[in-house]
Amino acid sequence: MDFLNIYAVLVAAVLALAIGFIWYHPKVFGTAWMHAAGLTESQLKGGNMAKIFIVSLLLAFMLAFAMPALVIHQMGALSLVGGDASKALPSYEAFMLDYSEAYRTLKHGALHGVMAGIFMALPIIGINALFERKSAKYIFINAGYWIFTLGIMGAIICAWK
């Protein structure tokens, strides 16, 4: 059984950018984020947007590639046999027949994605922001984006079969 669906990973990575486009739009959180980050419109316009979007897509792909381990419980069973199901004992196949689809839903993937956002992205963003002397608003705008985005990514990756 293959738990890593490359199409789900690609869709999740592209959606991360699409969600960011909406989240950081001036009419949503963009203006508040810009002020909290200490940036001006001219500074934002001065960047190489093609490079920013390409690197962002690559990083989003890397993140989406790691998501199955967080949102698909069956990955844990596969890891117990060294990642090669063909070398597993017969009990592995019996287990997978019984549980291969357990908790493979949008809702369950979203739950684990949100948990990853809260317990992984928020602390990382928060620690960096504290040392950068950024405000709580900055932390919550950026962490909110990742909590929401990881929830969507988790939902897609977990439910896509």
Count of structural domains, the chain: 1
Q: Is the pLDDT of residue 2 over 80?
A: no
Could you tell me if residue 31 is inside a domain? yes
What pLDDT shows up at residue 83?
Answer: 87
What pLDDT shows up at residue 68?
Answer: 94
Q: Is the pLDDT of residue 14 over 70?
A: yes
Could you tell me if residue 28 is inside a domain? yes
What pLDDT shows up at residue 3?
Answer: 72
Q: State percent of the chain over pLDDT 70.
A: 99
Residues 6+ apart with CB under 8 A from 126: 139, 143
Could you tell me if residue 104 is inside a domain? yes
Comparing 2-6, 30-34, 67-71, 131-135, the range with the smallest average pLDDT is 2-6
Q: Which domain holds residue 29?
A: 6-159
Residue carrying the six token digits 């897609």 = 156
Mean pLDDT computed over 67-85: 91
- Please tell me the pTM assigned to this model: 0.92
Could you tell me if residue 1 is inside a domain? no
Could you tell me if residue 60 is inside a domain? yes
Could you tell me if residue 48 is inside a domain? yes
Beta carbons of 90 and 25 less than 8 angstroms apart: no
Could you read off the pLDDT of 42-55 as tens digits, one per residue? 998 888 999 999 99
Please classify residue 71 by burial: count the beta carbons closer than 10 Å to its beta carbon, then call 0-12 exposed, 13-18 middle and 19+ buried: buried
